[in-house]
Structure 1
Amino acid sequence: MGANASRVDAQDPEASGGFVVPAAPSQEHPLVARLYVFDIDNNKWLQQNSEAIPEFSKVDEDEDDMEAGWYLAVSGQFDLLISEDLRLTVDGLTKTWYFYAGTSRCLKFYSKEGFDLANQRYDNCLFENRYKLEPTEENKKKIYEKDAYDAWALGQDPAEIFFDVDEPEDHCDPKKFNHLREDHASHEDDSEAHQLEMGGLDNSFLIKDGSVEVFRNVNDGVKKSGVSVKLNFKGTPMTPQKALLANQESNLLFLTPDTSKKSSIFRVDLEREQVVSEWTFRKDGVDIPMADIATDSKSAQMDLTSTFMGLDSNRLCRWDTRTAQGKVQEQEVELEYSTGKDYSVASKTLFRCMATTGEGHVALGSYDGRIRLYTDRSLTKAKTAFPGLGSPITAIDCSYDGKWVLATTDTYVLVISTAFRTKDGAMTTGFKAAMGKSQSAPRLLKLLPSDVTKTGNAPFTKARFTWITEQGKQERWIVVSCGTYSVLWNFRQVKMSTGPGASAATTGGFKTCFDYSMSSSKSETVMDSAFMHDNFNSTTSNMVVATKHDIYSCAGMDIDD
């Protein structure tokens, strides 16, 4: 294991000196380490214990204030359930753990043997807590499946891996994000916004309680138009839960949280500024509730397309708006388990989110952490299934060419390469053919320990690529919202710093990129951060950041040096 010296080493509490570091501990316990806590007020690390010992203990049954599972304590401090919520980052170069326990903390182990032993114990405890199985090799192969075991259990890449880092070099420094031009505007009224729906043509839209506020797209962001579309249908005010643009962005389709309307979708005619239709999701006379909707492809909202994607907990559908129940494709999803297809198991899988590529291939994220890739030609069976790392996938995005997938969890973002070479030597992606043992290990995007404290341990939400709709172009940026901040990674730098042969810090054996920048803190939680369509980017990449009551246009991310 290595470390990203430019970012992780800067967090090393002993790098700047000022601490008395014993050459050796007075006790012989193999796990003895030095414990530090991060002081956010003074932006520095404070030593708490020069001979701390991490302790692993198991609670067999749920108790009043503790659920069953393995817990971590350090010399009797903070009994914490071992999970991704600890945000553990491992730096093998300095034999250091960074983790979150009320604030950011770190353990610097005296010996490599103790460091390796602590890693092994932690990983085994995490596996057992995650999957409720003993951490045997047999059980690990059962969870990660034979073909995905090396990549997803061990963090190992196949012999041939494609990271597309040979593109023309850019000099997009994510630190320039601190110096973006920001234009701020309050919403037209006091109602809260729930979703930012970016348009690639004239307008973008804020989806709010009872209305849709319209903003004009301009070259450096969005401007207020003064137009707000009231959402009333047959005299009843409507609140959208999930929305998408359609029909050259002249229509807005939305789901509602109203429990009596779970099987309905409503259409807003944005030119007439009113809700004009209600459709019912139905198959064989039975209403089907949908939890998520998505466009047929990355650019479908700008086209005259009548179909869109629908998702519920164990069903993926394509619906057609030209008829009342005009479904093109629909099939209960058959999940790929080594033990066979079991719909009682499938009912617990709980599909959660989806996204499409430029060609219309579909990526699905699940509550159990699994990620599935479907070709645009068939929704009946995933071409490739990634086992994930156990954390629920809360949002997903794809690159336009389908070679990359972003999967958001509360504490990290997975960056997954889908490109591989088939047995006959042809280049393809996991959307079009089963990747098998050609799966590469996922890369992780995480916050530095000090920034976890800075954000108040807020969860990540909605990681997105730059929005392009043209083959041959490559996405330049990744953004994710976190608390009152937007966090930005240069995509090329991610690939270079975590690619084959690169030395990087790790999380559970997976290469992790910390080379990012954070926006200025907003006055309230960032609801969404999204890039302008490439139509509105010439020499800069521009972005829009929305909170419940404010919207910000952020311009100035260099595209070319």
Structure 2
Amino acid sequence: MGGSHSREDLDLSDSEDDDSASHASDASSDFATPPPSSAKPSAVGAATPASIDAIDRHLRSLHLKYAEPISPNPSPGTNPGGATAAALNAVKLYLHIGGSSPSARWIISDRLAAASFVRSGDTSDPDDDALATGPWCLVVGSKIRARVGPELQLKTFPAQRRVDFVADGVWAIKFLHADGYPNFYAKYQSCLFENSYGVAATDEGRAKVFGKDFAAWARPEDGDESIWEDATDGFAPSPSRSPMPSRSPMLKPLMEDLREYEEPVEEGGGIQSLALGALDNSFLVGDSGIQVVRNFEHGIHGKGMSVKFSGGSTNFSTPKKALLMRAETNMLLMSPATDGKPHAKGVHQLDIETGRVVSEWKFEKDGADINMRDITNDSKGAQMDPSESTFLGLDDNRLCRWDMRDRRGIVQNLASATESPILQWTQGHQFSRGTNFQCFASTGDGSIVVGSFDGKIRLYSKSSMRMAKTAFPGLGSPITHVDVTYDGKWILGTTDTYLILICTIFIDKNGTEKTGFGGRMGNRIAAPRLLKLTPLDSHLAGQNNKFREGRFSWVTENGKQERHLVATVGKYSVVWNFLQVKNSHHECYHCQEGLKSCYCYKVIPKDESIVASRFMHEKYAVSDSPEAPLVVATPMKVTSFSICSKH
């Protein structure tokens, strides 16, 4: 288990003379270590005016087409310090090679190149009068042309005048002019905004996207940080020993304070999903059935009974969703009706004790069959309730509650039913306009958070599903998964390239603390935090390196606070310290511009893509452990990581 890569933080300084940068070259040379602190400042200082003039003359002598880049929001007057565009855009281009091996290093890919932003479709041909209207792209010399977006995983190092990013490899550019970096970053933010929202990054454009209530999201530097400060101060102090190992190089073997237990999956039973139980058992849902495993203080372990899919009148494909209920003696299995789409026409009810599918429930409203894309429990701890007979359902434009009892409140007699019983639509709303719901989750009291394709996150109270109490705007990326703390004060949204952490706490006009589930937050909304991987880690996570299923650790009791966040990214299980992420004085946030992003995390690498990463219920956090075990499932193995304190 390791932290974010230590090599990435090395200063991209060179042992070459300053004037060597004026000679363009495609040859690569080894990355050199920074000079000692006793070295003269001139060795690593900003380029002198004379050297900048030389760079400018050399770039112009090459007749580069990108010498005068297009600016998304050109400012009137001259460039900062009177420097020409060519001088401001001059960079040295580095490439990271060697992956995660001990010999991994940065090499110089291009000693002198120009970094600029152009629209896709722009040929930069002076004889072509056609105006390009495509999305903005980042162009660096002749080697890089990539669309500006979250997929670049761009990370900045202002003190080094350096930017790292991913574009068919891991790259870094270092600006030769002191004003080059701020000029580049301002243009990058404008291009990113326009590519994400389709409007220019002006005050009018930001107001159109975020509105007056979310001004802090549009300009985080002007926002109120007091909510985050109060939230951090109000929580119990972190344990005397950090629950995770100290910062260490990437992919370092598991630390001494972690115990690992690996359990192979039954032959032919590739895991498709993981259903963690809070009581005695957990369940591995595979291609042919369900493997039952025991819950222990060190994780899930042991070969329990194996439930093969049987019973019922209809064969169904491997379930994509498994929902425990009725004190974890029953499980609802939802299989897609059409390959490639998540929507289902009903659910199969599995009696775990007998190993049989006892019923095939249909989704129906007003006599017409309907589909659901997702289901979840009424509340965070509802699966432990032996009398639970209702659950929540979500479709693209529907949010509802289903009841397994008939209209008279009597559980339907499944044994004598001649056809599939009908679930009763007891509460909900069918929205007339395209809400494009994608995912949802419930709090401890039954309030609901819903994520949408347009990136919006809506909060509904437990008493009404018709109108959201609060609707957070999107940041340009679809929300693919959402989770919420037991007390409803924190929301974790998952996108393909980052996690977004939102605080729902606000103080109403009477001075009472509330959450966005119980009242309208108005303009008392703090800017969110983003949780990202470094460009290098994102690239090393593998081809399928999208973020999936970001979750809080599992708490089902008022007054207790979740300690960690976990997400799956390709072959990595990534863990953040919750208290650290909320701390506004955390080192990651120093010198950051825009929305604050946290890059301090721990990585558990596996040899194949990970199916699920989840913390067990808090009851399995024993006296010598600050956290319940983390369970990581791949198609052929399930591994538990138990964190213990050293004595």
Q: Say yes or no: TM over 0.5.
A: yes
SS state of the match for residue 35, structure 1? strand
Following TM superposition, by how much is the alpha carbon of 1:121 offset from its aligned partner in structure 2, in angstroms? 1.6
Where does residue 536 of structure 1 map in the other structure? 620
Farther-moved stretch of structure 1 (534-543 vs 289-298):
534-543
Following TM superposition, by how much is the alpha carbon of 1:284 offset from its aligned partner in structure 2, in angstroms? 1.2
CA distance in 1: counterparts of 2:164 and 2:528, whole angstroms: 20
Where does residue 147 of structure 1 map in the other structure? 213
Q: Retained in 2: the 8 A contact 1:178–1:517?
A: no
Note if 1:54 corresponds to 2:138.
no
Deviations 1:184-208 (A, max 9, x none): 1111132322111110001111111
2:577 to 480, 490, 499: 490
Following TM superposition, by how much is the alpha carbon of 1:501 offset from its aligned partner in structure 2, in angstroms? 8.7
CA distance in 1: counterparts of 2:309 and 2:588, whole angstroms: 53
Where does residue 232 of structure 2 map in the other structure? 165
Q: Retained in 2: the 8 A contact 1:415–1:444?
A: yes
Q: Retained in 2: the 8 A contact 1:7–1:514?
A: no
Following TM superposition, by how much is the alpha carbon of 1:252 offset from its aligned partner in structure 2, in angstroms? 0.6
SS state of the match for residue 172, structure 1? coil
Following TM superposition, by how much is the alpha carbon of 1:451 offset from its aligned partner in structure 2, in angstroms? 1.6
CA distance in 1: counterparts of 2:371 and 2:599, whole angstroms: 40
Q: Retained in 2: the 8 A contact 1:156–1:441?
A: no
Q: Retained in 2: the 8 A contact 1:404–1:415?
A: yes
Q: Retained in 1: the 8 A contact 2:92–2:108?
A: yes
Note if 1:218 corresponds to 2:296.
yes
Following TM superposition, by how much is the alpha carbon of 1:152 offset from its aligned partner in structure 2, in angstroms? 4.2
Q: Retained in 2: the 8 A contact 1:89–1:507?
A: no
CA distance in 1: counterparts of 2:404 and 2:644, whole angstroms: 39
Where does residue 257 of structure 1 map in the other structure? 336
1:32 to 78, 90, 114: 90
Q: Retained in 1: the 8 A contact 2:550–2:567?
A: yes
2:244 to 174, 177, 180: 174
Where does residue 510 of structure 1 map in the other structure? 595
CA distance in 2: counterparts of 1:429 and 1:114, whole angstroms: 43
Farther-moved stretch of structure 1 (132-141 vs 237-246):
132-141
Distance 1:389 1:11, change over 3 A: farther
Deviations 1:468-502 (A, max 9, x none): 11111111111111122211111111112xx2697
Where does residue 88 of structure 1 map in the other structure? 154
Farther-moved stretch of structure 1 (306-315 vs 141-150):
141-150
Which structure has greater strand proportion?
1
Q: What are the residue-to-residue correspondences of 1:363-442 with 2, within 5 Å? A: 363-442=449-528
Where does residue 327 of structure 2 map in the other structure? 248
Following TM superposition, by how much is the alpha carbon of 1:108 offset from its aligned partner in structure 2, in angstroms? 2.3
CA distance in 1: counterparts of 2:482 and 2:326, whole angstroms: 23
CA distance in 1: counterparts of 2:517 and 2:221, whole angstroms: 21
Following TM superposition, by how much is the alpha carbon of 1:453 offset from its aligned partner in structure 2, in angstroms? 2.9
CA distance in 1: counterparts of 2:499 and 2:113, whole angstroms: 31
Q: Retained in 1: the 8 A contact 2:345–2:372?
A: yes
Note if 1:287 corresponds to 2:287.
no
Distance 1:198 1:156, change over 3 A: farther
Note if 1:313 corresponds to 2:390.
no
1:74 to 116, 119, 140: 140
SS state of the match for residue 245, structure 2? helix
Following TM superposition, by how much is the alpha carbon of 1:106 offset from its aligned partner in structure 2, in angstroms? 1.6
Note if 1:12 corresponds to 2:11.
yes
Note if 1:300 corresponds to 2:382.
yes
CA distance in 2: counterparts of 1:175 and 1:81, whole angstroms: 37
Q: Retained in 2: the 8 A contact 1:88–1:507?
A: no
Q: Retained in 1: the 8 A contact 2:288–2:308?
A: yes
CA distance in 1: counterparts of 2:359 and 2:592, whole angstroms: 48
Query: Greater RCO between the two (CA within 8 Å, min separation 6)?
Result: 1
Farther-moved stretch of structure 1 (257-266 vs 462-471):
257-266
Where does residue 280 of structure 2 map in the other structure? 202
SS state of the match for residue 285, structure 2? strand
2:424 to 326, 329, 340: 326
Q: Output the aligned Cα RMSD.
A: 2.8
Following TM superposition, by how much is the alpha carbon of 1:385 offset from its aligned partner in structure 2, in angstroms? 1.0
Tell me which structure has the larger Cα radius of gyration. Answer: 2
Distance 1:325 1:104, change over 3 A: same
SS state of the match for residue 305, structure 2? strand
Q: What are the residue-to-residue correspondences of 1:120-139 with 2, within 5 Å? A: 120-139=186-205
Distance 1:34 1:385, change over 3 A: same
Note if 1:185 corresponds to 2:202.
no
Q: Retained in 1: the 8 A contact 2:206–2:218?
A: no
The residue identity in structure 2 corresponding to 1:516 is Y
Farther-moved stretch of structure 1 (152-161 vs 51-60):
152-161
Following TM superposition, by how much is the alpha carbon of 1:415 offset from its aligned partner in structure 2, in angstroms? 1.2
SS state of the match for residue 226, structure 1? coil
The residue identity in structure 1 corresponding to 2:34 is G
Where does residue 276 of structure 1 map in the other structure? 358
CA distance in 1: counterparts of 2:454 and 2:552, whole angstroms: 23
Where does residue 336 of structure 1 map in the other structure? none
Farther-moved stretch of structure 1 (508-517 vs 376-385):
508-517
Q: Retained in 2: the 8 A contact 1:152–1:388?
A: no
Distance 1:159 1:523, change over 3 A: closer
Q: Retained in 2: the 8 A contact 1:162–1:419?
A: no
The residue identity in structure 2 corresponding to 1:174 is M
CA distance in 2: counterparts of 1:415 and 1:159, whole angstroms: 14
The residue identity in structure 1 corresponding to 2:227 is I
Question: How many corresponding residue pairs?
Answer: 539
CA distance in 1: counterparts of 2:255 and 2:352, whole angstroms: 36
Deviations 1:307-365 (A, max 9, x none): 111111121111111123322211124xxxxxxxxx4xx42x42111111111111111
Q: What are the residue-to-residue correspondences of 1:519-558 with 2, within 5 Å? A: 519=604, 521-538=605-622, 539-540=624-625, 541=627, 542-556=629-643, 558=645
Following TM superposition, by how much is the alpha carbon of 1:503 offset from its aligned partner in structure 2, in angstroms? 6.3
CA distance in 2: counterparts of 1:554 and 1:86, whole angstroms: 32
Note if 1:231 corresponds to 2:309.
yes
Where does residue 339 of structure 1 map in the other structure? none
The residue identity in structure 1 corresponding to 2:391 is F
SS state of the match for residue 538, structure 2? helix
Following TM superposition, by how much is the alpha carbon of 1:59 offset from its aligned partner in structure 2, in angstroms? 2.5
Farther-moved stretch of structure 1 (182-191 vs 135-144):
135-144
* Structure 1 residues not aligned, in runs of 5+: 334-342
SS state of the match for residue 390, structure 1? coil
**Normalising by structure 2, what TM-score?**
0.78
Where does residue 412 of structure 2 map in the other structure? none
SS state of the match for residue 149, structure 1? helix
* Structure 2 residues not aligned, in runs of 5+: 14-31, 37-42, 57-83, 124-131, 247-253, 407-421
Following TM superposition, by how much is the alpha carbon of 1:515 offset from its aligned partner in structure 2, in angstroms? 1.3
The residue identity in structure 1 corresponding to 2:110 is N
Following TM superposition, by how much is the alpha carbon of 1:137 offset from its aligned partner in structure 2, in angstroms? 2.4
Q: What are the residue-to-residue correspondences of 1:437-516 with 2, within 5 Å? A: 437-456=523-542, 458-496=545-583, 499=584, 504=589, 509-516=594-601
SS state of the match for residue 456, structure 1? coil
CA distance in 2: counterparts of 1:515 and 1:7, whole angstroms: 11
Q: Retained in 2: the 8 A contact 1:217–1:223?
A: yes
